[in-house]
Every structure is written in C-alpha cells, then in structure tokens.
Amino acid sequence: MSFSSIDRRWIFLFILLGVAIPLIIPIGFKLEVTSDVQKVYDLIQNVEEDKLALISFDYDPASKPELHPMGYAIIKHAIEKNHIIVCTALWPMGSQMADDIYHNLKAEMPELEYGKNFINLGYKAGGMVTIQAMGKDMRKVYPTDVSGKDINEYEILNCVKSLKSFAYVVSLSSGTPGLKDWIMIAKDKYGVPVLGGATAVSTPGFKPYLNDSNQLNGLLGGLKNAAEYEGLVKRKGTATAGMDAQSVAHLIIIGFILLGNIAFFMNYKKVKD
Amino acid sequence: MIEFWTSFGIWLGALSTLAIWSFLYKDNPFYKVAEQIFVGISAAYWLVYTIYNILIPNLFSKLIADPVANWIYFIPGILGLMMILRIIPKFEKLSFYPLSLLIGTTAGISLLRFLKSDVLTQTTATMLNPFAATSLTVTIGQIIIIIGTITGLVYFYFSKKHEGFIGANARVGIIFLMVSFGASFGYTVMARISLLIGRLQFIFGDWLHLIK
C-alpha cells in the first residue's frame, strides 16, 4: 500500500490522539505574546478608572471554545482596571454567553457585581443598523437591560448617551454581524477605539484593518491569541490548557502535508519516467 | 433534582458528540439519529427564540400596548406578512416587494460604509512612506505591503493581456495571493482544531473528570 492511498481514517485517529494526549498530559510549550495581542492589552491597561467599556458578544455556542476564553480574560482585565462593563449582543445567543462569563467569573472575582461594574443589555437584531442607532442614541436602542429593568435605574449608566460615551468597544465576533460592523460604524464613523476577538477562520479577513489608520486597535485571533491574553492577565483558562494540543495537532498536520507532497512527487516522477 | 438534570445534560452532550464523530469512521444509524435531532432542535429553538426575543418585544407587544401611538409598526408587520406569503404560490409575487425594499435599503446603507472603510481608509493606509519608519523590520514590512497591494491589483487587471511588464507584475501578485490563501488555510486548520479541543475538554473534563 502506498502512502498516497492511505485510509484517511488513520489521519483522523492521529489527530485525535495528538489532541487528546496533551490535554491529559500537558507538555508546557512556551507562548510568545504577539504585537496585535499586546495592543489589545495596552489599550485596556491605559484607559483610566471608572471608564465605560462596551463588550459585544457576537457569537453563539458553536464558537465558544475560541471566543469564550477571550471574553473571560478581557473582562477580568477590565474589571481589575476598574472599568465598567456594558455587554451587548448582535447574535441572539450572545446575551447568554455574556451571562455565562459573568456567573463563572463572579466566583473568582467578588468585586464583579451586576449593576455596579457589569451590565448586560442583551441582544438586538439589526447588525450595522443597530450600531448606527447606538451611535446616535444608546438609550433608545436599549431602554432596558436583559432582565427588562429600566436602564435609568442603574446609576452607572447615567452618563451613557451614545457610542461616544464608551472608552473602547470590544467585539467578540464569529461572523456577520460582528467585528466588521463595529469597525465600520464605531471606529470609522464615530471614532471610538475598537478591539476585536475573532475566530481563527475569520482572523485573516480582519488583519488589513490593523493598519496605520488604526481602523482596528488590536486583535485576538483564535485560540492561540486567547491563550496569550490569558498569560498577560495571569488567568490560565481553557485556551492555555488547549495550546499544547493545538501545537501537537499542527505538527501532525505539517507532517502529513510533507509526507503527502513527497508521495505525490515520487509518484509524479514515476509516471513521468 | 438539578444535579440529575445537569448530569443528564452532560451525558446527552457527550453521547451526541461521540455519535456525530462516529461518521468519521463511516455513516451509521447513531450519526443519523444525532444529526436529525440536531437539525430538529435547532430549527425549533430558532423559531421559538425569534418569536419571543424579536417578534414579541419589537412588534407584537408595541402594537398590543398602544396601536395608535405605535401605528408605524404596522408597516414592518405587513411587510413581514407579505414575505411569508411566499409559501402560497398564488400570492408568491407579493413577497418581492418587501424583498426588494430589504435589498435596496441594505445596499444603500452598506455602500457608503464599505466605500469609506474598505476602499478609502484602506487605500489611505497603503499610502505609506516606508523609509519614514523607525525600524528596519517595519520598513521591510511596509515595502512588502506596497508591492503586494500593487501587484495583487495588477493580477486582477484583465483589460490587457498578462505578458511583458504587466505579466511579470501579475506573477508576483499571484505569489502574494498564494501566501494569503496559505495563511487563511492555516488559520482555518487552527480554528477546526480549536473546536476539537473544545469538545475534548468537555468530554475529558465535564464528562469523564480526567482533567480539571
């Protein structure tokens, strides 16, 4: 049997073992912090206390393994810097994602308190149009929080008028509507700094926005960048735990690509001869 | 009782995951059952979610509470009904009106934003003076951006045959495109492996308690 005719189920098995074993027996590969991740950290780090941060949960459980760790790390960092977190969602289940992070992080951070430094405004349909409306009048778009309570009852939201009331916007995005809409409206129209957390699949599409015009002020792309951010905020979560498995799986895939190419060229030479 | 339902949910999630994965070996009844359950539950979930989280709060509750003051909501309501009429062949054409309104409005709103963010600002960001950069690495990076942008655009210039000077530029452009596709493929691999890691963390952690 030649390599080119190998049953692909062997490849599945190798990948499964390559991911499963390092999860049970961690190796401890080192991670370097990349510049795009450092930019996210620096921007949040340099925002003054008591400023408002808008975090938009634009994903659903399908992207949870990649984007949830970013949400934990960013919210932890912002709370440590005494920022006030206001959560929104352009995806219907994003609101539950925000709630999930709040309840799990509350156990670690007693200072995190709903209504005091964290509020979930919930989901709004409309994508780009909704963001445009938020840029004009935030209170009209979100008259209540996710539980239906009038936002006028929350003292911390008294100063919220529009998107410009926020020191920065973070969009944890797995598609459309999501980060691109925030760049186009919040940054390019209203000038509010926008940070992004994106799935690895969509990350290359956002790289051009990390340009000299600073359309995007920083980007976390995929599980690796999430793990880097966990390292920066000293909270080892599921992203850090998964990085050994990610690295081993990549090595296996690289190995198979090399073997596949060698087999192809050997076969090609034989046919040519 | 809550603990029982939590455990039941975890077992259901784990067994469904294994059933879906069994397709990698070969098609089988476990996969089919899990697939059909997933499709059915997803459709039902989104239907209920849309009714309770979009239609009721944004339309029905406003019209019921004060139909006179909120008369304007009748317009999207009627347009929505016209859209649903698509399922009745006799009235199918009525759905074209809300559809054309939707496409026209979306195109109108998006056009300006895309023009500013994806064309004007992106072009401005490419107008660099690489030699004004503070480090050699940045200078090299900016030169690569300029060459990549110009040659990439030349590759998509089809009004002249790709030969001579144009052809040479287009060949450089295609190298940049190939590198870009390779990077995208690499990120896609990373994303898919991340999803596998997420599932295995659930199976080894929440289900089997082998990891924390």
pLDDT tens by residue, B8-48: 999 999 999 999 999 999 999 999 999 999 999 999 998 99
Place of tokens 């493929």: B185
pLDDT on residue A1: 57
Given CB atoms, is B24 within the 8 Å cutoff of chain A? yes
pLDDT on residue A32: 93
Interface of A with B in 95-114 (CB under 8 A): none
Question: How far is the C-alpha of A253 from the C-alpha of A257, rounded, in Å?
Answer: 6
Contacts of A19 in chain B (CB under 8 A): 193, 196-197, 200
Instruction: Give CA B80 to chain center in angstroms.
Output: 24
What b/e readout covers B36-71, taking b as 16+ CB neighbours within 10 angstroms?
eeeeeeeeeeeeeeeeebeeeeebeebeeeeeeeee
The answer to whether residue B157 scores a pLDDT higher than 70 is yes
Q: How many CB atoms lie within 10 A of CB A113?
A: 12
Residue from A100, A188, A217, A228 to probe the interface with B (highest B Cβ count within 10 Å): A188
Q: Which amino acid is residue A83, in one-letter code?
A: H
pLDDT on residue A112: 95
Which residues, in sequence order, are bridge partners of residue A118? A85, A114
Which residues of chain A, if any, have pLDDT below 50?
Answer: none
pLDDT on residue B182: 95
What average pLDDT does range B83-110 have in this prediction? 93
pLDDT on residue B95: 95
Mean pLDDT, chain B, rounded, equals 93
In this complex, do B125 and A212 lie within 8 Å of one another by their Cβ atoms?
Answer: yes
pLDDT on residue A113: 95
The answer to whether residue B130 scores a pLDDT higher than 90 is no
10 Å CB burial of residue A49 (0-12, 13-18, 19+) is exposed
In this complex, do B197 and A245 lie within 8 Å of one another by their Cβ atoms?
Answer: yes
pLDDT on residue A43: 98
Given CB atoms, is A238 within the 8 Å cutoff of chain B? yes
Given CB atoms, is A36 within the 8 Å cutoff of chain B? no
pLDDT tens by residue, B110-128: 899 999 999 999 999 888 8
Instruction: Give CA B68 to chain center in angstroms.
Output: 39
In this complex, do B187 and A65 lie within 8 Å of one another by their Cβ atoms?
Answer: no
Q: What tokens appear for A190 in the block?
A: 């209203």
Q: What tokens appear for A203 in the block?
A: 């990350």
Among the listed residues A123, A131, A96, the one whose alpha carbon sits nearest the alpha carbon of residue B53: A123
Using DSSP, how many helices (H) and how many strands (E) does chain A show? 10, 6
Cis preceding-peptide flag for A177 (omega within 30 of 0): yes
Place of tokens 């509020």: A119
Contacts of A23 in chain B (CB under 8 A): 197, 200-201, 204, 211
Instruction: List the domains of chain A with CATH numbers.
Output: 33-241 (3.40.50)
pLDDT on residue A5: 78
pLDDT on residue B133: 82
Question: How far is the C-alpha of B163 from the C-alpha of B150, rounded, in Å?
Answer: 16
Q: Is the dihedral of CA A225, A172, A78, A44 positive or negative?
A: positive
Q: Is the reported ipTM for this assembly greater than 0.85?
A: yes
What average pLDDT does range B91-99 have in this prediction? 95
